Structure 1
Amino acid sequence: MLFGLSLASPLLAQTPTAREPTAVIASRVEQARWSDPLEALGTLKSDESVTISATVTETIQSLEFEGGEHVEAGDVLVRLSNDQAQADLRAAKALRDQRQAQVDRLSQLQQRNLGTRAEAEDSRAQLRQAQAEVEALQAQLEDYTIQAPFSGVVGFRQVSAGTLVSPGTELATLDQLDRMKLDFQVPATALGSLAPGMSLTATSAAYPEASFQGEIAAISPRVDSVTRSASVRAILDNPERQLRPGMLMEVTVARRQRETLVIPEAALIPEGERHYVLVIQEGEDGKTVERRRVRVGERRPGEAEVLEGLTAGDLIVNHGAERVRDGDAVRLLGITDDETSVRELLRANRDAGDA
């Protein structure tokens, strides 16, 4: 008698059940704009900046600004007392008129041969001298009215009406804020990858939700022999005048801008120096994954550049790769994009299961 199970035994007739497809979340391989970022800290300066001061010693007659307001080029900011200058100008004009009358009289006498030519020439020279004195006093009189040399925002005034001021006394500041200069330092080793016209992004702790776009305007021709760094100047548009001189900015320069393939960094499967991804393939029996080696370029937060191994539009596993092997069947829960995250897809599928 043989002990054991016969071929007709129902236990042997049973076959293993097929493995259920593994649930995964995927992402599309996208062609996107990419650059190698260079980060630095910079300080803002006004596009144009000047300290308003007097050029003569006199008392302030009136101040035409309060501080903080926008003024146009040519607007009067300060008026100085000019009574003495006006009196000197009137005296100079009277002397000029006297010399003019003398020239006219001598010219008439010369025409009648009653005057000498030397006297006429001497009187004309005295008239030119008097006219020059009038013009000089008129030019000096302009110094008593201080105007804005360009359009900008005037700073707080430092003096009051009646104050005696002298040349060099600071009255206020004037800054042109529609455009800003941003100066920052870069290592000398990075100079080969920088050029005027390259775009950059700047942010400030004062406006954490905002970013300001600009471009490199100039690169210093000298490298500091101690720090081995060079100065770079960029220009930022500031139409709303949010930025102020002296602010600290975090700068990111976009170097080597190019179109390249981009995938979520979470989709990469590292093995030593190699990287792999799981590409979802559509077959007659459903979706399966193919383990594919890729060559990775630069990285930025949450994303990686792919140089070889994928094409735009490929569907790759972004979440759940640790539970899947090459050739396994998968069930797609959703595809992430700029508006849909992995967390949102997991929550949506969990809610659908509860329902």
Structure 2
Amino acid sequence: MRRLMTLVAAAAILAGAYTVTFGMPAPLSAMLGNDSTAGTGADAANGARPGAGMPRGPGGRSRATTVVTTALENQPYESVLSAIGTGSALRSVDVVSEIAGTVVEVNLAANREVAEGDVLLRFDARIQALNLEIAHAELELASDTVARYERLRQSGNTTVTDVTLSEARLNLRLAEAAVGLAEVALEDQTIRAPISGRLGQSDVDVGETLSANSVIVSIDQSDVIVVEFELPERAIGMLAETKDVLASTSTLTGRVFIGNIVSFDSRIDPVTRSVTVKAEIDNSEGLLWPGMTFAVRMTQESKPLRRVPSTAITWSRSGSSVWIDADGVASQVPVTILYRQNDAVWIDADIPEGTLVVTEGAQKLREGMQISTPGGAPADRRPPADGQTPPAARLMDGNAQAPAKEPT
């Protein structure tokens, strides 16, 4: 018995809630003698769409459902991609000794700016200097021999044969090559900067004996910093159109640097599903150092798109849609969601700009219901231009008609 009473009470509560929300059904109203059906015949006579399912007020008048609307606007969507990258110098080299030798001079102060060709280190070059002097002496002797033989041939002396003269000339060429080799060997005893830049730390000191292929110091040409970072696969389209990125580092809080994309990989990494990108940042001020970590942002702005608050989107089995105010009548329009950001949604829909879209109260609406804004007044609508049909009215279903006028 108690269970039966509970079911009856629950049914009564549901019926009351339905009546408060949607009004009393017409058949039940007729049975109770309610005059709410008084306008039904007049509505049918006027060809208006029956008001079944619409809230009804006293005397059978259609009662407008209160909703909140906002005008549909066009705004571009800004796509933002973020990544973490590492900076490196535009050019960076390790200076390596090609020969072995004993160090007699060093100019390797850390963080010192050097120009290309500056002397960094010298080896003991006494042996090479003597070899060069010997080569010059042999060259001078070979040159004198060739000159003497040629004078004898010109004076008619037959003791100097063609073979003798050819051998003398060959010895001259060999002596010239020996001088060149001696000069190279002497120059190799001096290590010079291959590029302009800033010196790194070096442990080499005067008196040390270095072996061949020993690393002496590193040089970074950091007037331009190259930041390497990875972007997800969906960034491929942006890379083809966007050339600038914004980079910041925790070392310089509040500073934002503009970088220029110079290259990106030609394939997607099969493991990370990302693409490697390199961007250059001007560092003429010398504030950025190679090895710094950068937070990189890449933005792209789309063409203007329809934008509505997220509360305007409703869902059903057929997909997403919005409700619009078509001259005070609710009309449902299907939409395709393109982007979401915070409380805003960009959609693709055949809805004119400025159309009033329901943002609150959409769950109470049915197709063709009358709607009004808070306070009971009809929802604000933009006046039609030059007497034309308002844009929202053109979106209504071809079978939908404006509600019938209230009986006088």
Q: What TM-score bracket applies, with the shorter chain setting the length? A: 0.5 to 0.7
Equivalent of 2:168, from 111, 123, 146?
123
Structure 1 runs of 4+ with >3 Å offset: 257-263, 271-276, 295-311, 325-328
Equivalent of 2:221, from 155, 169, 176?
176
Please say which structure displays the higher CA radius of gyration: 2
- Please state which structure has a larger fraction of its residues in strand: 1
Which residue of 2 is the match for residue 193 of structure 1? Answer: 238
The answer on whether the counterparts of 1:197 and 1:215 sit within 8 Å (CA) in structure 2 is no
CA–CA distance in structure 2, aligned partners of residues 95 and 130 of structure 1: 6
The alignment status of 1:203 with 2:248, answered yes or no, reads yes
Deviation at 1:35, TM superposition (A): 3.6
Deviation at 1:309, TM superposition (A): 8.1
Which residue of 2 is the match for residue 64 of structure 1? Answer: 107
- Please state which structure has a larger fraction of its residues in helix: 2
Which residue of 1 is the match for residue 279 of structure 2? Answer: 234
The answer on whether the counterparts of 2:310 and 2:343 sit within 8 Å (CA) in structure 1 is no
The answer on whether the counterparts of 1:110 and 1:117 sit within 8 Å (CA) in structure 2 is no
Give the counterpart letter for 1:219 in structure 2.
F
The alignment status of 1:90 with 2:133, answered yes or no, reads yes
CA–CA distance in structure 2, aligned partners of residues 249 and 300 of structure 1: 25
The answer on whether the counterparts of 1:195 and 1:219 sit within 8 Å (CA) in structure 2 is no
Deviation at 1:327, TM superposition (A): 7.4
CA–CA distance in structure 1, aligned partners of residues 346 and 228 of structure 2: 30
Distance 1:104 1:261, change over 3 A: same
After superposition, where does 1:245-324 map in structure 2 within 5 Å? 245-255=290-300, 257=301, 270-273=311-314
Deviations 1:167-216 (A, max 9, x none): 22111110011101111112233223213861101111211211111021
Give the counterpart letter for 1:117 in structure 2.
D
Where in structure 2 are there 5+ consecutive unaligned residues? 1-72, 315-320, 324-335, 355-372, 377-408
Deviations 1:266-286 (A, max 9, x none): x9573445899xxxxxxxxxx
Distance 1:268 1:309, change over 3 A: farther
Deviation at 1:127, TM superposition (A): 0.4
| Count of residue pairs the alignment pairs up | 267
The answer on whether the counterparts of 2:74 and 2:353 sit within 8 Å (CA) in structure 1 is no
Distance 1:302 1:169, change over 3 A: farther
After superposition, where does 1:31-70 map in structure 2 within 5 Å? 35-70=78-113
TM-score using structure 1 length: 0.65
CA–CA distance in structure 1, aligned partners of residues 312 and 345 of structure 2: 16
Deviation at 1:34, TM superposition (A): 6.6
Deviations 1:134-161 (A, max 9, x none): 1122122222222212211111222111
The answer on whether the counterparts of 1:55 and 1:168 sit within 8 Å (CA) in structure 2 is yes
Which residue of 2 is the match for residue 220 of structure 1? Answer: 265
Give the counterpart letter for 1:107 in structure 2.
E
Where in structure 1 are there 5+ consecutive unaligned residues? 1-28, 277-294, 312-324, 329-355
The answer on whether the counterparts of 1:42 and 1:185 sit within 8 Å (CA) in structure 2 is yes
The answer on whether the counterparts of 1:61 and 1:161 sit within 8 Å (CA) in structure 2 is yes
Which residue of 2 is the match for residue 104 of structure 1? Answer: 147
SS in structure 1 at match of 2:271: coil
